[in-house]
C-alpha cells in the first residue's frame, strides 16, 4: 500500500494498525534509489559490527573509559542521549545515561570476593556523563577542556524534592540504573532510574514480598542503602550541578520521561514502568514550570481514562498505605490497586509532531506470550494532554511480517519519520526460534511521507549481544547520535568473548557513535 503524505497522516489519525499492510522487509543488502526516491533497508545481520545502509557512515565519538575531562571518564553501558544545543548546530552538550555494570568487565570477582574499592569503581561507572561536543570539519569531537564536563554517579548525594523524607532520609546516595529520560524546557535533564532491583532489591511491604531481586551485583555488602531511594526520575541541571529526585512522579522502573508543555505553561510528563505487566503514567503539574507539585495518573485502557493516584481519593490505598508519599514510593502496587492497566513492558514514549498523539513502545511480555511487542498510540481527548479521557490503538505490531521485534527507544525526525530500536534480549537473540529471523538488534525507520509512506526499513544492525539505545538528532537533523550498548554482554570470560567491537585489541566497549549520510538527509527532506 502506497500513500502520499496527506493520506498517511489521515491513516495514522484514524488509529488503524499498520501491521497488516506494511510490506515485508526487503532482502536487499544495501539501500537502493529508484528514480532518486525509492529506498530499501538492509537485511538483518549477525556480524560483530555496526552495519549501515548504503549512503551512511558512522564514527565513534566516545567509548567506555575514555576521558571527558582531566579526572573523569565515560561510564559503562551508555543508554539515553540528550543534545543540549549550543550557539549553532555544530556544537552543544551531550548528556548520556549509564545504566548498569557487568562484573566481568570490572574486577571479574564473585560478589562475596569484591572489596569496597571494587564496588566503588562499579558505582562510579553508572549514572551519567555530561560533556561538550563540536564538529571539527566533518567529524564530531569531545571538548575535553570544557568547564562543564563532569560525571554523575552512584556515590553522589541527591536530595528528594521539597525535603520529603523517604525511609527516614531526605537525601539519597547516588543515581543508578539510568535508562532513558527527557529534557525540560529550561534545559535540565530528567534521567530515569529503571532496573534498580539489580543493585538494591525491593523489601517486604506489610509482610508481603512485592519484588524480588533478579540480578544482584553485591553492593549491599558495603553500601546497604534502602531500595526505596531508587526508582525515581532525577532532575539535574548539568551546568550548575544541582539535582533532585522527583517524588511527585512516583517510583517504579521508569524507562523515560517525555515532557509536554501546555499552552498555559504547565507541564505534562509521560512515563512507563518497564516490567512485564507494568503501567503507563502521566503527571500534570499544578503550576507552570513546576515538576514538584501536581497530580499523577495511571492509564486504564479498559475505561479509556486516566485515574489519579491519590491517597485521599481511594479507600483501598488508605487501607494499604499511610500517606501519599508512601503511595508514590510504592507506585507499582498503588496503581494496580486502583485499576491501572497492565501493559507489555512500556518503554520509550514520544509525542508525534504531526498529530500530537502519544506513541509508546511496548517491547514484549513473555508472561502473556507476546514475543514481539508493538507500538501503541494514545489519542488524548480533544488533543489536550491534561485531559482525563483518551482513545488508543496499536500503531504497528512487531513480527516477521513487519520485519522487527521488541521495539524500544523511539525518535521522530524533522519530517515526522518514526525511528526506533529493537531490544531482543541477549539470551534469546540468534538462539530462540522466534527471534532467529531478526538476528542482531537493529535500528529501523517508519517512513511517513512520499511514495514509501507506511513502509518500515532497517537502517542499521548492532554488533553481537548489543542493542542500539538513546537515538538523538543534532539540531539540524543531519547527525544521529546513537548508543551502542553492552556488546559482548553474554561473554563467559575475558578469554571467551563474544564480541570485540569496536576495537579488537581492547575487547567490547559500549560507545556513542555518530551516523551521517545521504539517506538521513533524504528522509528528513521527504
Give the tens place of pLDDT for each residue, 358-368.
999 999 999 99
pTM above 0.85, yes or no: yes
DSSP 389: B
CA dihedral 172, 101, 511, 426 (to 10 degrees): -130
For residue 39, what pLDDT band results from cuts at 50, 70 and 90? confident
Amino acid 216: pLDDT: 80
For residue 122, what pLDDT band results from cuts at 50, 70 and 90? very high
For residue 383, what pLDDT band results from cuts at 50, 70 and 90? very high
CB 409 within 8 A of CB 473: no
What domains lie within the chain, and their CATH numbers?
5-524 (2.120.10.30)
Amino acid 205: pLDDT: 47
Judge whether residue 11 has pLDDT over 50: no
| Phi, psi (degrees; rounded to nearest 5) at 518 | -60, -35
For the record, the C-alpha cell of 179 comes out as 535508562
Amino acid 201: pLDDT: 84
Average pLDDT for 92-112: 96
What is the spatial distance between Cα 420 and Cα 198, in angstroms, rounded to a whole number?
26
Give how far Cα 332 sits from Cα of 68, 225, 253, 302, 364, Å. Answer: 37, 20, 9, 18, 18
State pLDDT tens for residues 50-84.
999 999 999 999 999 999 999 999 999 999 999 99
Amino acid 203: pLDDT: 56
Amino acid 213: pLDDT: 53
Percent of the chain with pLDDT over 90: 86
For the record, the C-alpha cell of 25 comes out as 522487509
What is the spatial distance between Cα 324 and Cα 309, in angstroms, rounded to a whole number?
9
For the record, the C-alpha cell of 3 comes out as 500513500
Give how far Cα 5 sits from Cα of 18, 156, 192, 305, Å. Answer: 15, 49, 35, 31
For 476, the enclosing helix (H) or strand (E) is none
Specify the range with the lowest mean pLDDT, choosing from 27-41, 103-117, 207-221, 320-334: 27-41
Residue 391: which of 380, 400, 401 has the closest Cα?
A: 380
For the record, the C-alpha cell of 241 comes out as 550541578
For residue 36, what pLDDT band results from cuts at 50, 70 and 90? very low
Judge whether residue 114 has pLDDT over 50: yes
Judge whether residue 38 has pLDDT over 90: no
Amino acid 75: pLDDT: 98
Determine the longest span between alpha carbons in the chain, in angstroms. 68
Amino acid 244: pLDDT: 98
What is the spatial distance between Cα 133 and Cα 118, in angstroms, rounded to a whole number?
31
Judge whether residue 222 has pLDDT over 90: yes
Judge whether residue 23 has pLDDT over 70: no
State pLDDT tens for residues 409-460.
999 999 999 999 999 999 999 999 999 999 999 999 999 988 999 999 999 9
Instruction: Kindly report the number of other CB atoms within 10 A of residue 373's CB atom.
Output: 25
* Contacts by residues 143-149 (CB-CB < 8 Å, ≥ 24 positions apart): 144/67, 144/68, 144/69, 144/70, 145/69, 146/69, 148/93, 148/238, 148/239, 149/68, 149/69, 149/72
For residue 215, what pLDDT band results from cuts at 50, 70 and 90? low
Amino acid 37: pLDDT: 56
Percent of the chain with pLDDT over 70: 90
Q: For the chain, give the mean pLDDT.
A: 91
Higher-pLDDT residue of 289, 311 = 311
Judge whether residue 351 has pLDDT over 70: yes
Amino acid at each position: 500500500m502506497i500513500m502520499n503524505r496527506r493520506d498517511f497522516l489521515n491513516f495514522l489519525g484514524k488509529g488503524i494498525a499498520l501491521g497488516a499492510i506494511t510490506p515485508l522487509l526487503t532482502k536487499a543488502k544495501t539501500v537502493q534509489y529508484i528514480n532518486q526516491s525509492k529506498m530499501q533497508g538492509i537485511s538483518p545481520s549477525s556480524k560483530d559490527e555496526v552495519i549501515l545502509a548504503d549512503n551512511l557512515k558512522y564514527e565513534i565519538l566516545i567509548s567506555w573509559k575514555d576521558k571527558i575531562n582531566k579526572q573523569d571518564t565515560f561510564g559503562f553501558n551508555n543508554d539515553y542521549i540528550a543534545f543540549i544545543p549550543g550557539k549553532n548546530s555544530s556544537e552543544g552538550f551531550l548528556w548520556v545515561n549509564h545504566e548498569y555494570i557487568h562484573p566481568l568487565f570490572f574486577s571479574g570477582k564473585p560478589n562475596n570476593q569484591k572489596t569496597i574499592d571494587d564496588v566503588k569503581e562499579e558505582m562510579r561507572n553508572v549514572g551519567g556523563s555530561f560533556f561538550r561536543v563540536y564538529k571539527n570539519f566533518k567529524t564530531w569531537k569531545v571538548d575535553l577542556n570544557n568547564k562543564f564536563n563532569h560525571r554523575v554517579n552512584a556515590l553522589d548525594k541527591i536530595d528528594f524534592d521539597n525535603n520529603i523524607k523517604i525511609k527516614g532520609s531526605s537525601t539519597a546516595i547516588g543515581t543508578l540504573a539510568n535508562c532513558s529520560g527527557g529534557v525540560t524546557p529550561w534545559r535540565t535533564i530528567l534521567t530515569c532510574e529503571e532496573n534498580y532491583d539489580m543493585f538494591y532489591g525491593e523489601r517486604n511491604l506489610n509482610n508481603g514480598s512485592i519484588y524480588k531481586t533478579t540480578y544482584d551485583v553485591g553492593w549491599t555488602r558495603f553500601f546497604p542503602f534502602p531500595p526505596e531511594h531508587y526508582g525515581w526520575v532525577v532532575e539535574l541541571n548539568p551546568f550548575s550541578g544541582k539535582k533532585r529526585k522527583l517524588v511527585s512522579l512516583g517510583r517504579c522502573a521508569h524507562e523515560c520521561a517525555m515532557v509536554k508543555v501546555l499552552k498555559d505553561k504547565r507541564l505534562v510528563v509521560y512515563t512507563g514502568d518497564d516490567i512485564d505487566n507494568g503501567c503507563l503514567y502521566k503527571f500534570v503539574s499544578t503550576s507552570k514550570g513546576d515538576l514538584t507539585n501536581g497530580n499523577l495518573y495511571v492509564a486504564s485502557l479498559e475505561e479509556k481514562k486516566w485515574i489519579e493516584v491519590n491517597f485521599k481519593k481511594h479507600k483501598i490505598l488508605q487501607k494499604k498505605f499511610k500517606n501519599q508519599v508512601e503511595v508514590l514510593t510504592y507506585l507499582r502496587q498503588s496503581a494496580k490497586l486502583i485499576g491501572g492497566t497492565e501493559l507489555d513492558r512500556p518503554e520509550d514514549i514520544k509525542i508525534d509532531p504531526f498529530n500530537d498523539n502519544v506513541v509508546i513502545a511496548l517491547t514484549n511480555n513473555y508472561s502473556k506470550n507476546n514475543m514481539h511487542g508493538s507500538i501503541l498510540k494514545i489519542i488524548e481527548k480533544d488533543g489536550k494532554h491534561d485531559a482525563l479521557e483518551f482513545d488508543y490503538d496499536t500503531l504497528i505490531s512487531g513480527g516477521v511480517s513487519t520485519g522487527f521485534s521488541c521495539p524500544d527507544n523511539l525518535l521522530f525526525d524533522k519530517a515526522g519519520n518514526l525511528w526506533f530500536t529493537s531490544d531482543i534480549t541477549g539470551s534469546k537473540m540468534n538462539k530462540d526460534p522466534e527471534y532467529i529471523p531478526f538476528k542482531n538488534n537493529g535500528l529501523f525507520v517508519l517512513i511517513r511521507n512520499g511514495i514509501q509512506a507506511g513502509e518500515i526499513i532497517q537502517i542499521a544492525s548492532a554488533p553481537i549481544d548489543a542493542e542500539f539505545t538513546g537515538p538523538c538528532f543534532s539540531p539540524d537533523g543531519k547527525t544521529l547520535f546513537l548508543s551502542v550498548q553492552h556488546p559482548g554482554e553474554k561473554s563467559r570470560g575475558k578469554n571467551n568473548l563474544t564480541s570485540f567491537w569496536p576495537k579488537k585489541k581492547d575487547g567490547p566497549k559500549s560507545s556513542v557513535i555518530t551516523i551521517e549520510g545521504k539517506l538521513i538527509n533524504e528522509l528528513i527532506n521527504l
